[in-house]
Amino acid sequence: MQIIDWQRFLEEAPPEGKTSAITVGVFDGVHRGHKALIEQVVSNNRRAVPVVITFKQGGHKKNGDAKRKYPGDISSLRQKIAVFEGLGVDQTVVLELSESVRKMSGREFLQALHEHGKMSFMALGSNFRCGYQLDTGAAAIQKFNDEHGIPTCILEPLTENKIPISSALIRETISVGRLDTAAAMLGRPFTVDLQGTAVSPDGCAYNIAGQGRILPPPGLYSVMLYGNQAEKPAEIQIEDGNIIITKDLADICPEYIGFLP
């Protein structure tokens, strides 16, 4: 899978004779609803390149409600990209929230997808909005696409126990320790990426909160450690935004920790 930034996307058209099937979003956690959108663009891969446009920064970088503390991202960018690739995406465009991107209206953004990406199909959720101050919603996007002869698939949120699945709801369930519910909405166990986290000198404490990512409440948890091409069941402690493993497990050099529901 090709991974490019927004500037390169603007400068490079799809291969000759190809167009792009596009979906856009933060895709934090890449939950079951996100997967349904991505499957829509991938299903168009005979006629178009399946493209996902996502953001490097997590929601804590753009949360407008200063009174409500953002609990952290569900997944790292590396995790998101791995899921995209596993679903059959050919190209991921990673957007930095630069000033120019922030000030772009929704219509300007769509025009860029149409002109530079040769967009021939778009999938989005019914509650999706884009553009400066989120000025453009799903209905306006469909109208723009209709004007340019671009088919649009608008999906309603999937549900779990009749409740719409969302990244915000998954964060809430993780923050209160309902990991079985989070796993059901994600479609897989909640997993933490340890790459790039600050580690204590003894190699036992990983500062996850310092990376702007969410953890369950403090306590003891049953997990799977993934590292050195090995998997090992273990118990870990969560304390003060850190994942703490025992010294004998530090030798595994875990890359990921999967929480057992």
The enclosing domain of 48 has a CATH number of 3.40.50.620
pLDDT by position in tens, the chain (length 261): 999 999 999 988 787 778 999 999 999 999 999 999 999 999 987 789 999 999 886 654 444 444 468 899 999 999 999 999 999 999 999 998 888 888 999 999 999 999 999 999 999 999 999 999 999 999 999 999 999 999 999 999 999 999 999 999 999 999 999 999 999 999 999 999 999 999 999 889 999 999 999 999 999 999 999 987 778 999 999 999 999 999 888 888 899 999 998
Tell me whether residue 170 is in a domain: no
State whether 59 and 121 are in the same domain. yes
State whether 146 and 210 are in the same domain. no
The tally of domains found in the chain comes to 2
State whether 15 and 77 are in the same domain. yes
State whether 47 and 141 are in the same domain. yes
Task: Indicate the SS3 state at residue 17.
Answer: coil
Residue 81 contacts residue 1 (beta carbons within 8 Å): yes
State whether 143 and 40 are in the same domain. yes
pLDDT at 60: 42
State whether 150 and 196 are in the same domain. no
HEC profile for 32-88? HHHHHHHHHHHCCCCCEEEEEEEECCCHHHCCCCCCCCCCCECCCHHHHHHHHHHCC
Listed residues 112, 144, 159: the one ending a domain: 159
Listed residues 136, 159, 182: the one ending a domain: 159
State whether 140 and 226 are in the same domain. no
pLDDT at 68: 64
Tell me whether residue 140 is in a domain: yes
State whether 89 and 147 are in the same domain. yes
The boundaries of the domain holding residue 65 are: 2-159
Task: Report in angstroms the alpha-carbon separations of 52 from 29, 83, 112, 172, 255.
Answer: 14, 11, 14, 26, 25
Tell me whether residue 183 is in a domain: no
**CA pseudo-torsion sign 89, 128, 94, 9:** positive
pLDDT at 218: 97
pLDDT at 100: 82
Nearest C-alpha neighbor of 242 from the set 197, 195, 201: 197
State whether 143 and 207 are in the same domain. no
State whether 155 and 228 are in the same domain. no
Q: Vertex 230, ends 177 and 224: CA angle to 5°?
A: 10
Query: Which neighbouring-strand residues pair with 237?
Result: 220, 244
pLDDT at 228: 74
State whether 195 and 245 are in the same domain. yes
Task: Indicate the SS3 state at residue 93.
Answer: strand
Per DSSP, 5 falls in state E
Tell me whether residue 57 is in a domain: yes
Query: Which neighbouring-strand residues pair with 121?
Result: 21
